[in-house]
């Protein structure tokens, strides 16, 4: 029985569909990237971030993107957190851990009435809405011809199914330590519900804020 998920959501340009280490995509939609080869789907649910790869090739691929890779600032991270808190409140989604890095975000979320695929997309949409409301959308000045802004997120997401208390506690600890291991301050989001949780989501009294800021502010 699935109890929760460890979810990773990447910023635009962080993990390309044909990244030599593997990706979560099954198709390369950009012509500029397609010249570097087909999609390279990862055949594991373990992280491939540290697998050996051609760094120069990856840099060349990122330079071919239609937009610069997104690197979130502290201000943008707080807007993202506000989006997650808002969606958790509206949908009664329990979020047991959250770490918002400049290029990607880790969450541990409880099993929900929506699929994890749909939950992932809803979280990204809520975060994007808050980025726009805060006037800090990364592509605010780069709209498409139809007026819509490009998404600041990579397509899809990566997740691991968690089916026991031990399985849940391990990624929670990993997520909590993730910023520290990256050389960033610890993050404390008020919308996070400690595990095990009793009852339903309790919305924070005010917008969530980190104990400290990410670089860039």
How confident is the model over 141-160, as pLDDT tens digits?
Answer: 887 778 788 999 988 888 99
Q: Is the pLDDT of residue 185 over 60?
A: yes
One domain, residues 109 and 135: yes
The answer to whether residue 142 sits within a structural domain is: yes
The answer to whether residue 4 sits within a structural domain is: no
One domain, residues 57 and 108: no
pLDDT at position 209 is: 47
pLDDT at position 69 is: 85
One domain, residues 99 and 158: yes
Q: Is the pLDDT of residue 6 over 70?
A: yes
Q: For residue 96, what are the domain limits?
A: 70-181
Rounded distance, CA 90 to CA 146, Å? 29
pTM score of the predicted model: 0.73
Query: Between 214 and 85, whose confidence is greater?
Result: 85
Q: Is the pLDDT of residue 205 over 50?
A: no
The answer to whether residue 47 sits within a structural domain is: yes
One domain, residues 52 and 114: no
The answer to whether residue 1 sits within a structural domain is: no
Average pLDDT value over all residues in the chain: 77
One domain, residues 150 and 117: yes
pLDDT at position 164 is: 93
Closest CA to 20 of 7, 29, 33: 33
The answer to whether residue 6 sits within a structural domain is: no
Hey, what are 184's tokens? Answer: 């960033």
DSSP secondary structure string for all residues of 33-73: HHTT-S--B-S-SS--TTS---HHHHHHHHHTSSSPPP---
As beta bridge partners, residue 104 has 10
The answer to whether residue 96 sits within a structural domain is: yes
Residue 102 DSSP SS3: coil
User: Ramachandran region of residue 75, left (φ > 0), alpha (ψ -120 to 50) or beta?
Assistant: alpha
Residue 5 DSSP SS3: strand
Residue 139 DSSP SS3: coil
DSSP class of residue 208 equals: -
Hey, what are 86's tokens? Answer: 């808002």
Q: How many structural domains does the chain have?
A: 2
**Of 41, 64, 87, which residue is a domain's last?**
64
Place of tokens 């990410």: 214
As beta bridge partners, residue 97 has 108
What is the per-residue pLDDT across 110-130, written as a single tens digit (0 to 9) for each? 999 999 999 999 999 999 999
Rounded distance, CA 21 to CA 40, Å? 8
């Amino acid at each position: 029985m699935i109890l929760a998920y460890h979810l990773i959501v990447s910023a635009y340009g962080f993990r390309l569909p044909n990244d030599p280490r593997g990706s979560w995509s099954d198709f390369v939609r950009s012509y500029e990237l397609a010249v570097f080869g087909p999609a390279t789907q990862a055949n594991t649910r373990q992280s491939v971030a540290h697998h050996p790869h051609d760094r120069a090739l990856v840099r060349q691929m990122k330079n071919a993107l239609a937009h610069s890779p997104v690197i979130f600032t502290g201000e943008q991270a707080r807007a993202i957190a506000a989006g997650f808190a808002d969606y958790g409140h509206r949908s009664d989604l329990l979020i047991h851990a959250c770490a918002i890095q400049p290029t990607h975000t880790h969450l541990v979320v409880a099993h929900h009435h929506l699929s994890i695929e749909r939950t992932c997309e809803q979280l990204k949409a809520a975060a994007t809405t808050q980025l726009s409301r805060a006037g800090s959308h990364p592509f605010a000045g780069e709209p498409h011809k139809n007026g819509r802004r490009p998404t600041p997120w990579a397509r899809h997401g990566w997740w691991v199914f968690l089916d026991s208390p031990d399985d849940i506690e391990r990624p929670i600890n990993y997520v909590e330590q993730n910023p520290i291991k990256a050389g960033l301050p610890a993050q404390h989001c008020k919308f996070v519900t400690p595990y095990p949780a009793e009852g339903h989501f309790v919305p924070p009294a005010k917008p969530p804020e980190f104990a400290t800021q990410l670089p860039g502010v």
